[in-house]
Structure 1
Amino acid sequence: MLLHLFFLLSLFLTFIDNGTAGKTSAFVRTQFPSVDIPLENEVLAVPKGYNAPQQVHISQGDYNGKAVIITWVTADAPGSSQVRYGLSKGKYDFTAEGTLTNYTFYKYKSGYIHQCLVSGLQYDTKYYYEIGKGDSARNFWFETPPEVDPDASYKFGIIGDLGQTYNSLSTLQHYMQSGAKSVLFVGDLSYADRYQYNDVGVRWDTFGRLIEQSTAYQPWIWSAGNHEIEYFPYMGEVFPFRSFLSRYPTPYRASKSSNPLWYAIRRASAHIIVLSSYSPFVKYTPQWHWLKHELKKVNREKTPWLIVLMHVPLYNSNEAHFMEGESMRAAYERWFVKYRVDIIFAGHVHAYERSYRISNIHYNVSGGDAYPVPDKTAPIYITVGDGGNSEGLASRFRDPQPEYSAFREASYGHSTLEIKNRTHAFYHWNRNDDGNKVTTDSFTLHNQYWGSGGRRRKLNKNHLHTLILDRPSTALF
């Protein structure tokens, strides 16, 4: 049986297609209008009914996936901050009480923002919930993840730099067809900062209504980008991230973070770390101290997949934002290699790019490798800043394509990461080809912890045999 297994494995490796490795795509997209969706468009419509809840969105509410934070806005009056929920549609046996806040930005005054923590949930369970009162009440549902376990399967979507254009809508709708259960969002949400004065707040409201078709039904794991900073002294607005922090709560206290902009969660078999590219991160800062301790807490026996989210990519071969992530790379890359991070997702650059496993940790100003070198213990770096915002695509890649870059294309789209078990995950990048979803880049990802040496040999051989026979993808990392 063992010989048979190794024979199958050798065949499996022999027929692997390296796909698009080392390629700059020649695809040129016929762009949809790269302008924000008009306010009168139906996808931005205010729900019917007096003071009806709107801009509904969910995020994980604790460290392990047994709680959610449900957030919504009422425009006319404070209303109720209560969530009624249960296991059957229309039958709500439980209630949770939330909190209420609002904020001003220049002369804009937000609606009443409700945030409710619903905790003590069962794993792997579908819940139905209701918010609002009377004829204006609205009903939704969500599913909790499986219990934290090394072989728990789970499918994530990855989206960045979304905005609220027709391209954004295309990305959102294609993602909703993917079967993924939660979004890892790598920053730059509404792009409301491209407007001025009261329109900044208005465009946060329209963005919330646009994405509600997904965010009301599944958690989005948020990270902040540069368009969330909103530092506008000419409007008297000098408190960074005011709109984002008021509208999009994160479970930062659950991971003992001191700031909502950086935090960690565990979901199924993944440990997910969210970093802030626009907060202090050098040695001895709060973010640096927190990350140092959080990496030590990661238990790869329970959560074998270690994923990091940030906004600015550490490796990028586009002319846009080239080397902007260098200072964070210098601060943290050695840790990412030491702890064998599997994959790092970033946005910021409005294009797609995937790297090989490389590192530049040996370089210093007086010696070492001056260029990134192949490193099997390093993460794969993937830039997905291609959600569809009004700034358009970053179409100028540096030439020649550097050796660390495996595939790159300037187009709109989203990614999915489907974790199968502790050893393997399937990744796809899906291009929005003039409104059609097209799988363009894909590979099978080997887990950095369980995919090496002795730990791989500890696994049940029948388990590996099943993986080989079931594998549908085209490239292996």
Structure 2
Amino acid sequence: MPSASRSSSFASRARATCATLVVVCARVAPGARGSRGVRGDGVTSAFERPPAAAVLALGIDARAAHERALLDDDGDDGDVPSQVHLTPTGIGEITVTWATRARVARDATVAYERVNDDDRGTNGAKKATVTSDSYTAQICFGSGTLFAPRMGQTPSVDPMKVVELANTSAWAATDAVNYRVVRAIEDVIPAGFFASAPYDKGVCLDYNNPDAQYHSPLIHKATLRNLIGGSRVAYTLPGSATSRTFTVPTVPTRHSSHHQSWTFTRIAVVGDTGQTEVTKEVLTHVAETLSDAQVLIHTGDLAYADGFAPRWDSFGRLMEFLTSKIPMLSVVGNHDVSVNGLESTAYAMRYPSPSVSSKSPSQLFWSYEFGHAHVIGLNSYANPNVGLFDGADAPQMSWLLDDLASINREYTPWIIAVFHVPWYNSNRGHFKEAERARIALEQVLYDAGVDVVLNGHVHAYERSKPVFNYAEDACGPVHIVVGDGGNYEGPYGEGWIEPQPGFSAFREGSFGAGSLLIHNDTHATWEWRRTTCVANTTASNSYFERSGDASTCRTIPDVSAQAMEPVDIAILRRDVGACPNKRVGNAERSNEASGYNADGASSHVTTLVITSIVLLALWVVTSVMLVRTLRVLKYSRAYRSPSLLANSDEYDDEFAGDGAIGLHTLSSSMGSDKF
């Protein structure tokens, strides 16, 4: 991540460049629309070839270095793993994903084993098969914010490097169809392009320009199976000399708080992260203070690549220090799959989900159970109704109904729904944007007794009271917006609707992360902590920089009543007596098939303990029988030779009772000639 000083140097250079772009670098505030601009086609005449622009040194080595320099990054070396992240994909199952620049061996595997507190192996390493894939994508730009961000490195993409890539006259023959002279960013992105309607659009470098094609790193996946809930696991990736460790999410059990070593379930929550210095502070807070979280939930809008595909790589590297240690579940946001249609492939290739284990027909909606929780991830951009051009009949809705019917609250009493666009939000940014989804789905979630709803999208933090249909309802879920992860679009603190609606309990336009700590079947603690404040450094609120100490600062211009509050804590209670919907969910659990355990410990642990006890008992019984047999044989010999009985040491105290006397008596009364 860039330092503050580095950002400042970028800022001065970029603002000078953006001054020549006029409207293309203008930032459009949430809900505002820029003036309509005139769009040029940016295409050189096929009949009048202008003179070539300056030649770029783009040999094979130079070209690779040049493309890496687009992100001002040194890149990754060969087969050294980077962008490592973990995904829970089933009970006792974690999928590890990573990237390399070079291929791994065909027979490459990931070694993994259970370790103790000293990270020493306890049961020998297992091997997981590696699968690899990659993709190509046209270099595109889906947002003017790439060139004029409100936070973070300025610009996020250097416009002059875009000009260099787009300028094919540096190498193409003058009569080639892909010959094009590009001298300024306006030759690539027409002035006013992003400030004029329609606003959701993108512009790409020419498809027939080989420098306009981004090739992803090789993306590898390996699934670690038969993991024991609550155990620590070390894994070693191909090309890595060291291992990494993580803790396996616990298996749902009846009364798990009384039996497993984990007596609680902690979930860390972030959203709308992007990749700025503020993002790094939010993630560092999670790593340092929420390291005991079993799972990290991301509420969507991960990388803010916005069409510029290499930003998925820089985001993966930024997240690695956290997501290589804490498994992450994510839902899709508009910047992940929907914005200008440019991001779907990258997200799908890089971020798997537990869709298969939860019997979902799509990677984009899923469920996963661990500890006390049944977590449901939904796609905010899957129409809850059948759309005019849809090729399927609302599959998310039908799957959701089946999934809710599969819940057994004796195992997972807490139901948590996660989707990107909030239903309850008192900020003008995205206000009532998902009203159709709320109307279609809210009753379904209420009837199923969903306890907590986690969202992002709005670049602020807000917690509701238990609510249903905009009215306080003790049996309704608490809706929590965690869209304050630090992305380059900046805070929404100036957009709060006044007066604060009755459903809203706490709201703040700063940056931070959340934690849900589930204590038992009925009580949990939600906590949000501010990690960063920012202040606008321009009169137009067009750029924000970090300011103050998180415990005492205020983001300017946040106008919320809670702007100075560094922490929000709420005790959540599931009142199953007063709320019949909180008792819904009694689906059967097949322990053998699913890995669930009705007795309170992981089925793997139970099996291991039982097997050990049986083997120990067999060993003891066998040993005793062998000793007795040897002794009987010895005294049988004495029975054959009565003279041996003269030595009293020939039998021990165990036979000093009637049995020994009987043996003496028997041997004395019978003649040796009988044998």
Normalising by structure 2, we get a TM-score of: 0.56
User: Is 1:379–2:482 an aligned residue pair?
Assistant: no
Residue number in structure 2 paired with 1:76: 102
Q: 2:435 aligns with which of 318, 326, 330?
A: 326
Query: Does structure 2 conserve the Cα–Cα contact (< 8 Å) formed by 1:424 and 1:446?
Result: yes
Residue number in structure 1 paired with 2:283: 172
Residue number in structure 2 paired with 1:104: 136
User: Is 1:424–2:424 an aligned residue pair?
Assistant: no
Query: Does structure 2 conserve the Cα–Cα contact (< 8 Å) formed by 1:37 and 1:166?
Result: no
Q: 1:61 to 1:451 in 2, by over 3 A?
A: farther
Residue number in structure 2 paired with 1:94: 126
Query: Does structure 2 conserve the Cα–Cα contact (< 8 Å) formed by 1:347 and 1:384?
Result: yes
Residue number in structure 2 paired with 1:51: 79
* Structure 1 position 87, deviation (Å): 2.2
Residue number in structure 2 paired with 1:475: none
Residue number in structure 2 paired with 1:221: 329
Cα deviation, 1:351-406, whole Å, max 9, x if unaligned, reads: 0111111211xxxxxxxxxxx22211110001010000000001210111111111
Residue number in structure 2 paired with 1:461: none
* Structure 1 position 293, deviation (Å): 0.9
Superposition RMSD in Å:
2.8
- The structure carrying a bigger helix percent of its residues is 2
- The structure carrying a bigger strand percent of its residues is 1
For residues 341-380 of structure 1, what are the structure 2 equivalents within 5 Å? 341-360=450-469, 372-380=470-478
Residue number in structure 2 paired with 1:459: none
Distance between the aligned counterparts of 1:226 and 1:33, measured in 2? 31
Q: Please list every run of 5 or more consecutive structure 1 residues that lacks an aligned counterpart in the other structure.
A: 1-31, 233-237, 361-371, 457-477
Distance between the aligned counterparts of 1:40 and 1:451, measured in 2? 60
Query: Does structure 1 conserve the Cα–Cα contact (< 8 Å) formed by 2:485 and 2:512?
Result: yes
Letter in 2 for 1:53: P
Letter in 2 for 1:50: G
Residue number in structure 2 paired with 1:469: none
Query: Does structure 2 conserve the Cα–Cα contact (< 8 Å) formed by 1:340 and 1:448?
Result: no
Cα deviation, 1:408-456, whole Å, max 9, x if unaligned, reads: 1100000000111111111100101447555510011112547858999
Letter in 1 for 2:93: A
Distance between the aligned counterparts of 2:6 and 2:516, measured in 1? 27
Residue number in structure 1 paired with 2:571: 444
Distance between the aligned counterparts of 2:8 and 2:410, measured in 1? 45
* Structure 1 position 83, deviation (Å): 0.8
- The structure whose Rg is larger is 2
Distance between the aligned counterparts of 2:251 and 2:486, measured in 1? 34
Distance between the aligned counterparts of 2:358 and 2:580, measured in 1? 31
Distance between the aligned counterparts of 1:375 and 1:35, measured in 2? 47
Cα deviation, 1:38-63, whole Å, max 9, x if unaligned, reads: 8889997656x53201100001021x
**Secondary structure in 2 matching 1:211:** helix
Cα deviation, 1:115-138, whole Å, max 9, x if unaligned, reads: 1111111111001010023xx444
For residues 55-454 of structure 1, what are the structure 2 equivalents within 5 Å? 55-62=83-90, 64=91, 66-79=92-105, 81-88=108-115, 89=119, 93-106=125-138, 107-133=213-239, 136-149=240-253, 150-152=255-257, 153-179=264-290, 180-193=293-306, 200-229=308-337, 232=340, 241-282=344-385, 284-360=393-469, 372-395=470-493, 396-434=495-533, 438=551, 439-449=566-576
Letter in 2 for 1:442: I
**Secondary structure in 2 matching 1:56:** strand
**Secondary structure in 2 matching 1:108:** strand
Query: Does structure 2 conserve the Cα–Cα contact (< 8 Å) formed by 1:427 and 1:443?
Result: yes
Query: Does structure 1 conserve the Cα–Cα contact (< 8 Å) formed by 2:233 and 2:245?
Result: yes
Letter in 2 for 1:56: V
Q: Please list every run of 5 or more consecutive structure 2 residues that lacks an aligned counterpart in the other structure.
A: 11-67, 139-212, 258-263, 387-392, 534-547, 552-565, 584-675
* Structure 1 position 35, deviation (Å): 7.1
Cα deviation, 1:323-360, whole Å, max 9, x if unaligned, reads: 01111100110012111111100000000111111211
Letter in 2 for 1:105: A
Cα deviation, 1:69-102, whole Å, max 9, x if unaligned, reads: 1000011234465210112447561111021110
Q: 1:36 to 1:311 in 2, by over 3 A?
A: farther
Distance between the aligned counterparts of 1:123 and 1:203, measured in 2? 34
Distance between the aligned counterparts of 1:43 and 1:423, measured in 2? 50
Identity %: 34
Q: 1:382 to 1:389 in 2, by over 3 A?
A: same
Q: 1:120 to 1:36 in 2, by over 3 A?
A: farther
Query: Does structure 1 conserve the Cα–Cα contact (< 8 Å) formed by 2:511 and 2:531?
Result: yes
* Structure 1 position 181, deviation (Å): 2.8
* Structure 1 position 174, deviation (Å): 0.7
Query: Does structure 2 conserve the Cα–Cα contact (< 8 Å) formed by 1:357 and 1:380?
Result: yes
Q: 1:436 to 1:77 in 2, by over 3 A?
A: farther
Query: Does structure 1 conserve the Cα–Cα contact (< 8 Å) formed by 2:104 and 2:238?
Result: no
Query: Does structure 2 conserve the Cα–Cα contact (< 8 Å) formed by 1:51 and 1:79?
Result: no
Distance between the aligned counterparts of 1:330 and 1:281, measured in 2? 9
Query: Does structure 2 conserve the Cα–Cα contact (< 8 Å) formed by 1:33 and 1:167?
Result: no
Residue number in structure 2 paired with 1:367: none
**Secondary structure in 2 matching 1:59:** strand
Distance between the aligned counterparts of 1:188 and 1:245, measured in 2? 13
Distance between the aligned counterparts of 2:294 and 2:232, measured in 1? 12
Letter in 2 for 1:130: T
Query: Does structure 1 conserve the Cα–Cα contact (< 8 Å) formed by 2:78 and 2:100?
Result: no
Query: Does structure 2 conserve the Cα–Cα contact (< 8 Å) formed by 1:264 and 1:274?
Result: yes
Distance between the aligned counterparts of 1:359 and 1:255, measured in 2? 27
Normalising by structure 1, we get a TM-score of: 0.78
Query: Does structure 1 conserve the Cα–Cα contact (< 8 Å) formed by 2:383 and 2:437?
Result: no
Letter in 1 for 2:334: N
Residue number in structure 2 paired with 1:9: none
Indicate the structure whose relative CO is greater, using CA pairs within 8 Å and at least 6 residues apart: 1
Number of aligned residue pairs: give it: 399
**Secondary structure in 1 matching 2:289:** coil
Q: 1:335 to 1:69 in 2, by over 3 A?
A: same
Distance between the aligned counterparts of 1:33 and 1:289, measured in 2? 52
Distance between the aligned counterparts of 1:340 and 1:145, measured in 2? 23
Letter in 2 for 1:158: V
Query: Does structure 2 conserve the Cα–Cα contact (< 8 Å) formed by 1:37 and 1:165?
Result: no
Letter in 2 for 1:172: L
Distance between the aligned counterparts of 1:71 and 1:170, measured in 2? 24
